[in-house]
Amino acid sequence: MIKNMPQLFAPWFAFWVSPRTSYIFIHVLSSINELFRLGVFGFLSLNTEEVPGNAGLRDMIELLKWVQRNIRAFGGNPDNVTLMGQSAGAASVHLLSISKAAKGLFKQVIQLSGTAVPSFFTGSRAYSDNVNKMFFTELGIESTDPAAVYQQLLNTPLNQLIYASEKVQYNTGLCTFVPIIEDEITGVTRVLEDDPINLIGEGRGKDYPTLLSFTTDEAEVFRYLILVFNLVERAQQNPALGLPPRISFGVPAEEAATLAAALQQKYLNGTVTLDALISVLTNSLFNHAAFKFAEWRSLLGGAPLYFHQFSYKSEFSPLKYGLWIDYDGAAHAEDLTYILRVNSALQDYVSFPPKTKDDNMKEWMTNMIINFIRCSNPTCMADDVSPWPPVSKDNIRYQDSVGPAYKLTEMTPEQTDMVQFYDSIDAQIREMTEKLKK
């Protein structure tokens, strides 16, 4: 058995679904893909000892503790554990990196299309209470006593819980039950004890080497869901749907309406279309948060953060094939298809040795991930000679994977304008940035 292999721990995708398999396992690497509780089972909070919330994150922490105790028996190295996640998996990875409960359980992190900066989720108790109310109403639970609610939930058939959760998700959109800021409860170790923005601003997690990535057209992958959830018409009636839920549930309704109107005037020209809404959601839910986290990390110092944009246009896209959609650009999870093999779409196709441009891109993305796992650096070169240096206070540059070659890139005028606009409507983000610049 090969000993002391780097260890990859990988929670993936949304707070309610999780995929599998990988190209990177052909390399000398020990890997664990975790199954953790999702949806109502992973993130319902009754604010009690029995159901404090964040059960899904607690599952991850327990497995990381298991890794520390046992991974040597499988050839792994407990001192070289990398956390890697995509979308809500990336947000979970980032949340673990700022949690005291997970301290000392890993070495570095890889975040694809997700951060702990609340954008597609919010940890507010107000949002959680609103979702809980909708969920309990669907189940016919009228009690406001958490102990009584808990007993009724235990006695409710599984299929009814899932059906009620699906109905609530139709009303909320992308996410329903999500990580929450926990109150102090006797006998319970909190996973998330404050707003993630405050914890990041305190420097939590800044000592973990980080590979942070986003795609150019994140929300294109939700094109079909946007139609199913009728979000275009709903956003026309309620422009606040285009705001991150942290804002729409964190400020008074009048202020949310004013901010939403500014967003609509900036990007929607008074009329919501499918393409325009996709562009807004790409920035509101994903890319603004990515740029802000990169900027904050550069101001905080600490371990290096390597910033990456996936903009490669696939010759064959498993996402388009599997979801029966079409778009131009690189959608949410598009990069993941060059790291995880989509067996249902590729079937018996063998991509190594490379035969197509897509195959070469798989090699490129795989090597980027493997290099970071092995060297805490996506090139395994010294930063002063590398074609991909980490972000710095003077410049938030990123590696743009438009193809299988290095292309260090400055923020575009459109990206700069986007960041400045979202900063202008987000007081919490703006104040944290000003604080860190002092």
Contacts with 4 (C-beta within 8 Å, 6 or more apart), sequence order: 75, 76, 77, 80
Dihedral angle at the C-alpha atoms of 134, 94, 82, 351, nearest 10 degrees?
Answer: 70
Q: Is 332 a catalytic site residue?
A: yes
Residue 232 belongs to what H/E stretch?
Answer: helix 231-237
Chain Cα centroid distance, residue 46 = 24
Q: Is beta strand 76-86 parallel, antiparallel or unpaired with respect to 5-10?
A: parallel
**Distance between CA atoms of 390 and 376, rounded to whole angstroms?**
11
Which residue among 22, 87, 113, 248 is the active-site one?
87
| Tokens at 20, concatenated | 């599998």
Nearest to 112 by CA among 134, 126, 92: 92
| 333 close to 114: Cβ distance less than 8 angstroms | no
**Spatial contact of 419 and 413, defined as CB atoms under 8 Å apart:** no
**Out of 18, 332, 351, 376, which one is annotated catalytic?**
332
AA letter at 217: D
Tell me the C-alpha distance between 132 and 46, whole Å: 8
Q: Where are the alpha helices (DSSP H) in 79-140?
A: 88-97, 125-139
Give the closest residue to 426 by CA, choosing from 94, 122, 114: 122
Q: 49, 186 in Cβ contact below 8 A? A: yes
Active-site entry in 34, 182, 218, 295: 218
Helix (H) or strand (E) holding 320: helix 318-323
What is the Cβ-side half-sphere exposure of residue 71, based on CA atoms within 13 angstroms?
25
**Three-state SS at 406:** coil
> From CA 430, how far away is CA 418, in angstroms rounded?
13
Tokens of 427: 């007081």
Query: In whole angstroms, what separates CA 41 from the centre of its chain?
Result: 19
Q: Which residues belong to the active site? A: 87, 218, 332
